[in-house]
Structures are given as C-alpha cells and as structure tokens.
Amino acid sequence: MSGNDKSIYAEPADVDGDTLANLGPLRALAGVWRGEKGVDVNPKADGPETRSFIDHIDLQPIDPQTNGPQLFYGLRYHQHVVTPDEAGTYHDQTGYWLWEPATETIIQTLSIPRGQIAMAVGRAAKDATHFELVAQRGETTFGICSNPFLEEAFKTLAYRIAVTVHPDGTWSYAEETTLQIKGADKPFAHRDSSTLIQIRPPTPNPLARAK
C-alpha cells in the first residue's frame, strides 16, 4: 500500500528528453575515450606495485531517470583497462554517472568483478570543469559493499575520484581507493589516474533519437 505522503510520488514537470543537453558538468565526459598514459598503484604481497595501463571508456547518455520528484540525467559507462605488455583484462568497471540539476549533485555508481560495488557523491556547479566525489565504507547511502573475502582481507574503507576537464576537450581522473589490508599497520592507497582522448562522440539517448 502507498503511504500517506503523496509527494514522494510526484513527478517533475520539467523533464527534457535530450539528455546530452542536460548533463551539466558530465557533458564533457560523454563519448568513447582512449587513454594511453594510465598509472596504477596496487597492493602486492611485497609492497606497492606501479603499472602503466591503457584505458578504454564508453560513456553513453541514458534517458532521463526519475524517482518520484527526483530527476537525474546520466551516462551509462563501461571502462575496460589493459596493460601494454599483457593479454587480457587488467581492470573492468561498469556503472552510471548521474547529474541532478535541482541540487547540483553528481553521483557515480561503480561495479567491479571482484564482487564489489560503490556509490560516490559530490557537488559541482553545472559548468564546473573540476569535481570530486567520495564513497565511505559503512554508509548506507553513499557507501561501499564488498564480498566477504575482500571485506576480510582487503577492507575498502573509502573511494574518491577527482575529474578535471581540460580546455582541449580531453579529461583526466585521479582516484584513490583506501584499503585496510589484513595484517598491515596502516591503510594502503590504491591509486589510479589517466587522461582520456575522445575517439567517438556520444550517441544521443533513445528518447532524443526517437524525436
């Protein structure tokens, strides 16, 4: 049964079917991108390992999404990372980047095949060229959820990402995943950064294509 508060079912009046025109600071990320200069610092038994990587990131607009009165415009993404010297996947990640114009809030959801998910949040002006998001373990809203082995052996305490859009249309990210590794006396900073160059523009969202 529905509750008494009917306002949670209210629908926003001003939904625009053209997502690319309403992405605020995320507009600069839409498209298909390649990065050849990624750097990863990851945990290994003998200490931190630093590796170069090649990024492929596909970020495509989805139709406007409402939750009752809440309205998001967003990008669905798939990031696939390889190394220059090894066959196969080095890192794989999917999720959404969401922009809520009413509150100037950015959300990133992420899912990685280690059996781990996170949702990070940050605030930015709609024309911002730099923004930062954070997720914290233990939070039920913008948190991190791991499978039991990771929770025991590589407890992920926090995830943060900073994105900078450059004047030439490229953009960079720098992210830090803080891991409490079993037996270690202090947290490990698992770091990843890359600069992305566009190889294809985005495909308009289904509703925009239908018009």
Question: Contacts with ligand HEM in 7-36 (CB under 6 A)?
Answer: none
Report the chain's terminal Cα–Cα distance, integer Å. Answer: 36
Number of residues that bind ligand HEM (CB under 6 A): 22
* 135, two tokens: 């997720």
The rounded distance, in Å, linking the Cα atoms of 29 and 111 is 19
- Between 100 and 192, CB nearer to ligand HEM: 192
Q: If binding is defined by CB under 6 A, does position 156 make contact with ligand HEM? A: yes
Map residues 121-150 to x or -, x wherever contact with ligand HEM holds by CB under 6 A: -----------------------------x
Query: Do the Cβ atoms of 114 and 65 come closer than 8 Å?
Result: no
The answer to whether 116 contacts ligand HEM (rule: CB under 6 A) is yes
Q: In angstroms, give the least distance from the CB of 196 to ligand HEM.
A: 12
Integer Cα distance of 204 and 209 in angstroms: 6
List C-alpha distances in Å: 55 to 34, 35, 83, 93, 197: 5, 5, 9, 11, 10
**Binder among 97, 142, 159, 171 for ligand HEM (CB under 6 A):** 159
CB of 68 to ligand HEM, least distance (A): 29
Helix (H) or strand (E) holding 9: none
Site for ligand HEM in 32-61 (CB under 6 A): 40, 42-44, 53
- Mark residues 180-209: x for contact with ligand HEM by CB under 6 A, - for none: ----------x-x-----------------
Token pair recorded at residue 14: 């001003």
Phi, psi of 198 (to 5 degrees): -70, 135
State the Cα–Cα distance between residues 32 and 197, nearest whole angstrom. Answer: 8
Give me the residues that bind ligand HEM (CB under 6 A), please.
40, 42-44, 53, 81, 90-91, 110, 112, 114, 116, 118, 150, 154, 156, 159, 175, 177, 179, 190, 192
